[in-house]
C-alpha cells in the first residue's frame, strides 16, 4: 500500500505548479489542454505526442517546459533521410588513438523534442522504440542508460502527407498521451501578436530535474481506489468488445486499446490528481484524459475514415455507455 501524502507535500506541489504555469504563460498564450498534457506527461514520467497544423506553438510549448525544468535539452528535426545513428548515436573512430569510442546521440538528454516525427523514415522511428520504452540505447553491444528524468515530446503535422511516414501502432502506444492542438481564439491570437511585439523576458528555470524526479515519485503515491481501477478496465475493455449500446459506432472499431492504455489512465490520472492538489484519483480525472489516452490507441476501420467518423466520437460513446462509479 502506498504511503499517505502529507498536506505539506500537496501544498509544495501546488506552489511548484503555480510557478511553472506563471512562467510558461509568458511564452505560450492559451492552449490550456496542451499545458495540462505536457505537465501530466512530465509528472507521470511518460512521453507526449503533439499534433496540429503548423504554427500552433507545439515546439515552443515543449521547449519552454524543458527550459523551465532546468534539465538538459536536445532537439531533433526529422527528415526522410535521417538515420537511426543521428538520434541514438554510433561508434566513432579516433584516428589519433586508432580506436573506436561511443558517441551517444541527441537522445541522451532529459528532454528530447522530436520535431515532425512523422517525417522520419520507419527505420529511424523504430530506433526510438528502445529509448522510449526501456529508457536506454544499445550501441556496439553495450547498454547505455538514459538520464532521469527522460521525456520525449514529439510533434507531427497531420495535413502534410508528402515525405511523411505514418507512425506504427507499436510506437504510438509508447506515447502516454496524444494532444491535438486547436486554433487559438481571436482574443488569444491578438494577445499572441502583442506578445510578439514585446521584448521577450529571459527564461530561467523555476525547478530542477531532482525536484521533477521527486514529483514523479510523489505521483506514484496518489491513491486510486479499486472502483476507479475497475472503471478504467471496463472502459478499455469496451474498446475491444464494443457494447451493444454503441450501435453503429461499434462496427467502426477495428482494434481496441492494449493494457498499456489502462496503465496510462492510471499513471496520468494520478498526475492530474496531484496537479489538481488531491491525493486521490476521481472518475473525472479519467474522463478528462479520455481523448489524450485513447485517440492514438483506438484503430478505426477504413469505413470509419470514409464516413468521417473521428476517434473522439467513438470515445465519447464508450464513456457514455460505461457507468461511472
The pTM score is 0.90
Give the DSSP H/E element, type plus range, for residue 74: strand 73-77
Which residues have C-beta within 8 Å of that of residue 162, sequence separation ≥ 6?
none
Note the pLDDT of residue 220.
Answer: 94
Note the pLDDT of residue 93.
Answer: 67
Which pLDDT tens digit goes with each residue over 259-284?
A: 999 999 999 999 999 999 999 999 99
Which pLDDT tens digit goes with each residue over 93-132?
A: 677 777 777 778 899 999 999 998 888 888 888 788 778 8
Residue 144 CA from chain centroid, whole number: 23
Per DSSP, 3 falls in state P
Tell the residue number behind the cell numbers 509528472, with chain if given. 43
Note the pLDDT of residue 142.
Answer: 83
Spans of the chain below 70 pLDDT? 1-2, 93, 160-163, 198-200
- CA-based R_g, the chain, Å: 21
Note the pLDDT of residue 59.
Answer: 85
Residue 231 phi/psi, 5-degree rounding, is -60, -45
- The dihedral built from the CA positions of residue 120, 124, 127 and 131, taken in this order, carries a sign that is negative
Note the pLDDT of residue 89.
Answer: 84
Amino acid at each position: 500500500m502506498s504511503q499517505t501524502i502529507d498536506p505539506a507535500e500537496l501544498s509544495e506541489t501546488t506552489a511548484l505548479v503555480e510557478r511553472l504555469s506563471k512562467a510558461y504563460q509568458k511564452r505560450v498564450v492559451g492552449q490550456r489542454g496542451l499545458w495540462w498534457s505536457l505537465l501530466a506527461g512530465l509528472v507521470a514520467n511518460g512521453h507526449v505526442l503533439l499534433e496540429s497544423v503548423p504554427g500552433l506553438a507545439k515546439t515552443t510549448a515543449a521547449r519552454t517546459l524543458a527550459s523551465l525544468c532546468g534539465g538538459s535539452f536536445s532537439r531533433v528535426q526529422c527528415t526522410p533521410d535521417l538515420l537511426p545513428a543521428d538520434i541514438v548515436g554510433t561508434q566513432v573512430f579516433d584516428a589519433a588513438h586508432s580506436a573506436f569510442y561511443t558517441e551517444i546521440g541527441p537522445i541522451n538528454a532529459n528532454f528530447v523534442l522530436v520535431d515532425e516525427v512523422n517525417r522520419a523514415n520507419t527505420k529511424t522511428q523504430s530506433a526510438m522504440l528502445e529509448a522510449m520504452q526501456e529508457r536506454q540505447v544499445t550501441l556496439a553491444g553495450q547498454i547505455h542508460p538514459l538520464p532521469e528524468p527522460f521525456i520525449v515530446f514529439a510533434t507531427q503535422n497531420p495535413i502534410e502527407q508528402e515525405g511523411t511516414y505514418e507512425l506504427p501502432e507499436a510506437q504510438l502506444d509508447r506515447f502516454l498521451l496524444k494532444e491535438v492542438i486547436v486554433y487559438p481564439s481571436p482574443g488569444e491570437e491578438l494577445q499572441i501578436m502583442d506578445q510578439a511585439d514585446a521584448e521577450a523576458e529571459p527564461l530561467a528555470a523555476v525547478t530542477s530535474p531532482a525536484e521533477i524526479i521527486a514529483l514523479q515519485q510523489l505521483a506514484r503515491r496518489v491513491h486510486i481506489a479499486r472502483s476507479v481501477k475497475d472503471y478504467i478496465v471496463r472502459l478499455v475493455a469496451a474498446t475491444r468488445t464494443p457494447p451493444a449500446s454503441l450501435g453503429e459506432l461499434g462496427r467502426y472499431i477495428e482494434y481496441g486499446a492494449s493494457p498499456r492504455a489502462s496503465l496510462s489512465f492510471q499513471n496520468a490520472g494520478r498526475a492530474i490528481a496531484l496537479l489538481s492538489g488531491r491525493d486521490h484519483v476521481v472518475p473525472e480525472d479519467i474522463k478528462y484524459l479520455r481523448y489524450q489516452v485513447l485517440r492514438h490507441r483506438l484503430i478505426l476501420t477504413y469505413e470509419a475514415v470514409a464516413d468521417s467518423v473521428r476517434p473522439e466520437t467513438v470515445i465519447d460513446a464508450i464513456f457514455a455507455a460505461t457507468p461511472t462509479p
